[in-house]
Amino acid sequence: MFLEHLFLALTGALFLSTALVSAQRPSSTPICDYYAETILGANTEANQRLLMVLLLHTTVLGNYTTPNTGIAVHGIAAPGTFRGQKVNLIKYFTGEIASTNNGTTPHGVPILLLDGGGAAPLLKNVSSYNTSSLQYHIFDHIEQYFGTLLGCSKQGGSALPAYQGRASMYEVHKFMDLSAAEMGWFNLQATLAIASLGFSKQDVGIVNDTLYNVFSQRCSPAVSLVPKNAGPQLQSLCINEDCPLDKNATCALYPNKGVGVAPEVVNATNASASGTGTVTGTAAVATSTGAVFPSRTVTAASIIKARV
Ligand SMILES: *[C@@H]1O[C@H](CO)[C@@H](O)[C@H](O)[C@H]1NC(C)=O
Ligand SMILES: *[C@@H]1O[C@H](CO)[C@@H](O)[C@H](O)[C@H]1NC(C)=O
Ligand SMILES: *[C@@H]1O[C@H](CO)[C@@H](O)[C@H](O)[C@H]1NC(C)=O
Ligand SMILES: *[C@@H]1O[C@H](CO)[C@@H](O)[C@H](O)[C@H]1NC(C)=O
Ligand SMILES: *[C@@H]1O[C@H](CO)[C@@H](O)[C@H](O)[C@H]1NC(C)=O
Ligand SMILES: *[C@@H]1O[C@H](CO)[C@@H](O)[C@H](O)[C@H]1NC(C)=O
Ligand SMILES: *[C@@H]1O[C@H](CO)[C@@H](O)[C@H](O)[C@H]1NC(C)=O
Ligand SMILES: *[C@@H]1O[C@H](CO)[C@@H](O)[C@H](O)[C@H]1NC(C)=O
């Protein structure tokens, strides 16, 4: 079916007629392998990992390093505007709102996820200063996820381990209540990021179609994605009522018929009382030139324990 077709196009397992494929990338070569070679010089596991680092960190921070094909990327860390709507995705990472699914509570919990140095290590191409931090696990997991999604053939060793996170992207994001503008903004920054690194227009389009068709609509049917052997999983990230409804919507499979619930806002007044820790410090704004993330220092045992 349609999604399977996209996935195969990403991973190079689909042999399309030559008229349909990029002038550069052979249809049998996965996107990851192709750009590890052409952008970073050799198709090694370490370069496949670095490619995932560059695309993720550029999506988050904005363009911060070379290679850069002359395309500026704003990044999702700094607030922005998508089709006239203000978006600010960093709030999902700072503990300002109760939006993290820690795996045990039936509602989101407010957790500072940028506890491993914030933007500073990301600017140095590493996930975190601290391998015990949530930041370390989140960035590593996302890189592993994209590694599989983009067909990295060398994945599985120590440089780019197999994906270690949860298989259902809906489960990971279900307490965020992401809107169409928030998803559109993320997808725009991610596609600008890969274009800035040197992905062809055609391949940017394939990745964009996947981000849109798999993750950016409400009530999408369960899809077997990453890891494949996890079987079909709910993958809709966009669950706010303003998200477009999937043409093959299966809302009954989703809790609350697929309708998201806005996460609670947590502030200094009640963060302590709710047992989630003490919120101190003020927000600083990250920019595409690399300033530190907005982040609050939250101290609580639950931060360390949380599953991400
Ligand atoms: C909807 O589901 C049908 C039947 O499974 C499938 O043939 C079709 O490709 C799907 N459409 C989309 C847009 O995924
Ligand atoms: C981001 O990309 C733009 C366009 O190539 C460039 O002018 C700018 O210097 C880059 N910024 C950084 C921090 O690399
Ligand atoms: C990050 O990786 C890019 C691509 O290889 C490289 O140009 C840049 O120097 C690296 N940054 C650091 C701090 O190592
Ligand atoms: C980070 O490492 C330091 C020791 O270097 C440790 O005290 C701290 O608890 C760690 N933080 C997290 C969030 O894991
Ligand atoms: C990505 O997909 C969206 C939704 O289909 C579309 O509006 C947008 O123009 C696409 N962007 C790119 C770069 O292909
Ligand atoms: C904290 O949030 C509550 C409701 O969400 C609001 O009434 C209150 O003014 C906020 N306090 C501060 C200091 O922002
Ligand atoms: C914080 O206070 C607001 C307003 O009183 C409340 O709705 C929310 O549940 C509180 N958050 C937590 C995590 O206790
Ligand atoms: C999830 O959050 C709740 C509420 O803060 C807490 O009681 C529970 O222990 C947390 N679970 C994990 C695995 O951290």
For CA atoms 214, 75, 136, 65, the dihedral sign is positive
Q: What is the separation of C-alpha 188 from the centre of its chain, rounded to a whole number of angstroms?
A: 12
Asked whether the beta carbons of 58 and 76 are under 8 A apart, the reply is no
Nearest ligand atom owner, CA of 187: 5
In angstroms, rounded to a whole number, what is the distance separating the alpha carbons of residues 303 and 223?
31
Helices then strands, counting H and E runs in the chain, come out as 9, 4
pLDDT at 284: 45
Q: What is the DSSP string of 248-307?
A: T--GGGSGGGG---PPPB--TTTTTTTTS-EEES------TT-PPPP--EEE-HHHHH--
Q: Do the beta carbons of residue 299 and residue 89 sit within 8 Å?
A: no
Q: Is pTM beyond 0.95 here? A: no
Block means of pLDDT (10 residues each) for the chain, 308 residues, are: 61 51 80 98 98 98 96 95 96 92 93 91 95 95 97 98 96 97 98 98 97 97 94 97 97 94 78 47 42 40 30
Question: Does any ligand 5 atom lie closer than 6 A to the CB of residue 212?
Answer: yes
Q: What pLDDT does residue 3 have? A: 57
Give the model's pLDDT for residue 103.
Answer: 92
Is ligand 6 within 6 A of the CB of residue 273? no
122 exposure class (CB count in 10 Å sphere: 0-12, 13-18, 19+): buried
Of the bound ligands, which one is closest to the alpha carbon of residue 69?
A: 2
Closest C-alpha residue for ligand 3 atom 6: 66
CA neighbours closer than 13 Å in the CB half-sphere of residue 247? 5
Answer whether 211 contacts ligand 5 (Cβ < 6 A). Answer: no
Token pair of 265 as six digits:
């806002």
CA–CA gap between residue 149 and residue 127 (Å, rounded): 19
Q: Is the CB of 114 under 6 A from ligand 4?
A: no
Question: Atom 9 of ligand 8 has which residue's CA nearest to it?
Answer: 302
Report CA(114)–ligand 5 centroid distance (Å).
Answer: 29
Cα(181) to centroid(ligand 5), Å = 13
Cβ atoms of residues 60 and 287 within 8 Å: no
Q: What's the 130 CA to ligand 4 centre distance in angstroms?
A: 6
Question: How far apart, in whole angstroms, are the C-alpha atoms of residue 239 and residue 216?
Answer: 8
Q: Which residues of 262-287 are buried (b: 16+ CB within 10 A; e: fewer)?
A: ebbebeeeebeeeebbebeeeeeebb
Coil/strand/helix, residue 85: strand
Place of tokens 């990301």: 122
The first and second tokens of residue 204, run together, are 């940017």
Q: What is the pLDDT of residue 270?
A: 56
Write phi, then psi, for 139 (nearest 5 degrees). -65, -40
- What's the gap in Å between 33 CA and the centre of ligand 2? 26
DSSP label at residue 88? -
125 lines ligand 4 (CB under 6 A): no
CA angle 167–171–176, rounded 5-degree value: 135
Tokens encoding 128: 């975190």
Q: What is the pLDDT of residue 14?
A: 56
Q: Which helix (H) or strand (E) holds 87?
A: strand 85-87
